[in-house]
Structure formats: structure tokens, C-alpha cells
């Protein structure tokens, strides 16, 4: 199902043109207009899911297989030195377009892509709380 107001629905379904690297029945893979690095691509399902929480199991399983395939092809073409797969959910996590998508970000030695964080400490309180949530 498509969402009338969603720009990625329009791009994924071909209503808005995009630099398309790959397309099948379920997905379109496009180049990001504001790339973090050369070759930054986005995997867009044609069906509208706002985020990972809404994503169907079927689309989820296909999406990672596709990510693997496109990452391998981009690596072959660009001769990049590494790869990040990024997927943002929620404004606080950096999501700006609320149609599920996977970022494929080629990495190059000494590039200036900033995806890091400052490691904290796993406290026993946090660990116990989270394990308890999983019934462990
Ligand atoms: P988010 O921040 O939601 O994880 O990622 C949204 C991404 O979509 C950004 O990297 C942004 O550059 C890209 N983007 C936003 N609008 C367009 C568009 O119209 N076309 C393309 N190709 N990329 C877009
Ligand atoms: Zn959408």
C-alpha cells in the first residue's frame, strides 16, 4: 500500500524519477541525493512502512538479502575499502523520511564519514533491567 504524501512511495514506485541502480517487484535501490560518501545508496521497499517497527517480516528478510547483493556490486564498481549499513528509526535516531529505507554507505580509507559514538559503560542495573525484559 502507498502513502499519498510520502516522497519515498513516489520514488519507489517510479512517480518521481531517481537514479535507480536496481529495481524488482518489491524494491527500488537509488542513489542518495545527499550522499555521505561516493556511492551512498538507499534501498526502498515499494510498499509503505514508516520504519522497522512497521516493516513486514517478508520485506525484512528480502531487504537484507538485497543489501548484501547491492553492497557487493557497489564494492566491485567503486573499489571501496569497507561498508556501513545504516537504518534510522525515529527523529532522535536521525530518521528524516518516514518510509523505511536502508542506507548503503561505501567507506574509503581516510574518508570523513562520521558515524561513530562515544562508548559508554554497561552498568549492572542496565544489564539486569534489559535481561529481565527478555525473561533472562
Ligand atoms: P534518513 O535521515 O531518514 O535516515 O535518510 C533520508 C535520506 O534520504 C537522506 O540521506 C537524504 O539525503 C535522502 N533523501 C531525501 N530526499 C531524497 C530524494 O528526494 N531523493 C533521494 N535520492 N534521496 C533523498
Ligand atoms: Zn512511503
pLDDT band at 4 (very low <50, low <70, confident <90, very high): confident
Calculate how far, in angstroms, residue 84's C-alpha sits from the geometric centre of ligand 2.
23
pLDDT band at 1 (very low <50, low <70, confident <90, very high): low
Inform me whether the pLDDT recorded for 100 exceeds 90. Answer: yes
In the chain, % of residues over pLDDT 90: 96
Q: How far apart are CA 43 and CA 103, in angstroms?
A: 7
pLDDT band at 134 (very low <50, low <70, confident <90, very high): very high
- Counting ligands in written order, the one closest to the CA of 105 is 1
Calculate how far, in angstroms, residue 6's C-alpha sits from the geometric centre of ligand 1.
12
Cβ of 95 below 6 Å from ligand 1:
yes
| Three-class SS state of 67 | helix
Cβ of 91 below 6 Å from ligand 1:
no
Cβ of 34 below 6 Å from ligand 1:
yes
| Three-class SS state of 69 | helix
Task: State the pTM of this model.
Answer: 0.97
Q: How far apart are CA 117 and CA 40, in angstroms?
A: 20
Calculate how far, in angstroms, residue 60's C-alpha sits from the geometric centre of ligand 1.
20
Tens-place pLDDT, residues 6-65: 999 999 999 999 999 999 999 999 999 999 999 999 999 999 999 999 999 999 999 999
Amino acid at each position: 500500500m502507498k502513502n499519498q504524501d510520502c516522497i519515498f512511495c513516489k520514488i519507489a514506485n517510479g512517480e518521481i524519477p531517481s537514479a535507480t541502480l536496481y529495481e524488482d517487484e518489491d524494491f527500488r535501490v537509488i542513489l542518495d541525493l545527499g550522499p555521505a560518501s561516493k556511492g551512498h545508496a538507499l534501498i526502498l521497499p515499494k510498499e509503505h512502512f514508516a520504519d522497522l517497527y512497521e516493516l513486514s517480516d517478508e520485506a525484512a528478510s528480502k531487504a537484507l538479502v538485497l543489501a548484501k547483493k547491492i553492497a557487493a556490486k557497489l564494492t566491485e564498481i567503486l573499489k571501496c575499502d569497507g561498508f556501513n549499513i545504516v537504518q534510522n528509526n525515529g527523529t532522535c535516531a536521525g530518521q528524516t523520511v518516514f518510509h523505511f529505507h536502508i542506507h548503503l554507505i561505501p567507506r574509503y580509507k581516510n574518508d570523513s564519514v562520521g558515524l561513530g559514538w562515544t562508548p559508554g559503560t554497561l552498568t549492572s542495573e542496565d544489564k539486569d533491567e534489559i535481561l529481565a525484559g527478555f525473561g533472562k
